[in-house]
Structure 1
Amino acid sequence: MFNLHQGNYMNSLAWIKNRHVVSALCAAPILFSCAYASAEAAAPAAVEAVAAAPAEPAPPYTLSFNLGLYSNYMFRGVALSDGPALQGGIDWAHSSGFYLGTWFSTIDPDYAVGNHQEVDLYGGYAYTFENGLGVNFMGNYYWYPENRKADGKSIDSFEVSAAISYKLLTYTYYNVLTDYYGARDSKNADYHELKVNQKLPIGDLNFMAKVGYQNTRNLAGDQGDYAIGLNRDFSLPGAGKPIEGFNAGVIFTDTFNVEDQEFYKSSSDRDVNDKKLTFYVKRTW
């Protein structure tokens, strides 16, 4: 995403048929969650009767936090970390549909022109109609606090997106209003994404699949990507009651129709858009 100078493409769509990949996709979320099976809280022997106080009215907003460890930071088919990445964020959402949030990840400085962290600052509006149709409009500022530059220009970027969803399908269109991560004359690079999310009837597993296409506008970085994964929610034993909010999963990612493979190489000659199997565990509270 950041290196604008490199590539050599090998089509590996058939790799996903390999039985080892399929086995990993099915087994990993179950193994993660089984390792931390939730414990039933023991009911107290006796409960002292207390007069119920009037319930406090629920606030019109929610504030949530998330933190996770990923074996790779994958972004639209590109591995932005060279190994494990720590990721987390804070989200504020109002009952009106407006929301604000921030998110961070460690990244590979060899590909991110010397930057070690990415911080996203975003806000938007989301609404679901009674018939189940949903819309989501968002602005997202990609900020690199160390401000290491590419050819003298900051790689900070601002992107807007619009999404429409119905049942298990979501289509999202993204457009970068600034130059594309510091590349001159590259405004309005865009990305199309179609995603499927579905709860499976076995093992409490959640299924995810997506396909996307990146147009880098006046650069040689156009390419498609796809991903398929499984994940599972679980809880950990706690003092008195389980600790909720955990999720673990595995995702296979690959790219296709790569315009120029040299565009997707780090300064250490790493192919950042090669196929990847990513494992993760995270918690939201």
Structure 2
Amino acid sequence: MKNKLLLALLSLAAVSPAALLAQTTATAPAPVETPSYSLVVTPSFVSQYMFRGVRLGGPSFQPSVEFDSGPWAVGVWSNFPLSDKVPGVSDPEIDPYASYTYTVNDTLSVVPGFTWYNYPDADKSAGFYTSTFEPSLAVNYTVAGWKFTPKAYYDFVLKGPTYELTAAFAVPLKDYGTELDFTGTAGTYRWTDAAANTNPNVKNWGDYWSAGVSMPFVVATNAKFVVGYAYTQGWNNYYKAGTAPKSRNTAASGRNVLTLSYVLTF
């Protein structure tokens, strides 16, 4: 999910001192602002759909659209399974989201946001929700070329938190006009109402991590092609209902994920 903010570019126009001394009647043109917004369209294909260490599907098409204006970002991310669908999982998934980046200084920013997960075709009889809502709060800290992002989420439908830490850095490849972007993430979550329409409530908890690298290739002034690879692993993932023994979530596993994206910025 998603930090593509553009800074405003201002064109300044000024009247020369000589013109003022000459008391000419000409008026300096008003400053012209370049719009401080952008629209980013990103169709992506993934070899596996993994979410917090849990496999939710096989090869999938994952398009997204994001509108950025100053510190605001508003978008929609979606998932459409292409094959090897997981029974009961929604086809499609459509997730509107938004965030606001409060910049403290050159190295520190705070980002509150939310994601509204929507699963219109989820199998409710199997305990799948058709919608959940998850606010979040992230802190971005950059030091010595590294970017660290601790982030906390709370899902008001699943009734539980997720805590996550991401570290990222880039290695320039100047001779090739690109770079290698490395990212690592570790997280844990605990939900107390993980299944819909159940009594007693079903608890679900688990840990996960992932490590990956991506490489962008600029193909036009407003377009780039991105190839990415990641390994993601879920473990210590269990379900438990009432006094019944806990059962392992078999969808939590280790998977290799290849991602192909085309990023268009308008």
Flag whether TM exceeds 0.5 (same fold).
yes
How far is the alpha carbon of 1:262 from its aligned partner?
4.3
| Partner residue in 2 for 1:98 | 72
| Partner residue in 1 for 2:118 | 143
How far is the alpha carbon of 1:259 from its aligned partner?
3.3
| Partner residue in 1 for 2:12 | none
SS at match of 2:43: strand
| Partner residue in 1 for 2:40 | 64
The CA distance in 1 between the partners of 2:73 and 2:127, in whole Å, is 34
The CA distance in 2 between the partners of 1:114 and 1:100, in whole Å, is 25
Unaligned runs of 5+ in 1: 1-53, 181-186, 265-270
The 1:207–1:121 alpha-carbon spacing in structure 2 relative to 1, beyond 3 Å, is same
The 1:212–1:220 alpha-carbon spacing in structure 2 relative to 1, beyond 3 Å, is same
The CA distance in 1 between the partners of 2:153 and 2:97, in whole Å, is 13
How many residues were matched structurally?
Answer: 211
The CA distance in 1 between the partners of 2:247 and 2:257, in whole Å, is 23
Larger helix fraction of residues? 1
Matches within 5 A, 1:130-209: 130-146=105-121, 148-150=123-125, 154-167=129-142, 168-178=147-157, 180=158, 187=159, 189-201=160-172, 204-209=179-184
Could you tell me whether the CA contact under 8 Å between 1:109 and 1:115 is conserved in 2? no
Structure possessing the higher relative contact order (Cα contacts under 8 Å, 6 or more residues apart): 1
SS at match of 2:101: strand
The CA distance in 2 between the partners of 1:274 and 1:131, in whole Å, is 38
Q: Say whether 1:121 aligns with 2:100.
A: no
Supply the AA of the counterpart residue of 2:53: G
Could you tell me whether the CA contact under 8 Å between 2:235 and 2:253 is conserved in 1? no
Percent identity between the two aligned chains: 24
SS at match of 2:78: strand
Supply the AA of the counterpart residue of 1:94: S
The 1:173–1:93 alpha-carbon spacing in structure 2 relative to 1, beyond 3 Å, is same
Cα shift readout 1:37-79 (whole Å, capped 9, x = no counterpart):
xxxxxxxxxxxxxxxxx99631132211111110011111111
Residue of 208, 221, 226 corresponding to 2:209: 226
The CA distance in 2 between the partners of 1:207 and 1:131, in whole Å, is 21
Larger strand fraction of residues? 2
Cα shift readout 1:199-231 (whole Å, capped 9, x = no counterpart):
025672111101000111264421110101111
The CA distance in 2 between the partners of 1:99 and 1:243, in whole Å, is 18
TM-score normalised over the length of structure 1: 0.67
The CA distance in 2 between the partners of 1:152 and 1:215, in whole Å, is 17
Unaligned runs of 5+ in 2: 1-29, 194-201, 240-245
Could you tell me whether the CA contact under 8 Å between 1:136 and 1:164 is conserved in 2? yes
TM-score normalised over the length of structure 2: 0.71
The 1:134–1:277 alpha-carbon spacing in structure 2 relative to 1, beyond 3 Å, is same
The CA distance in 1 between the partners of 2:127 and 2:100, in whole Å, is 35
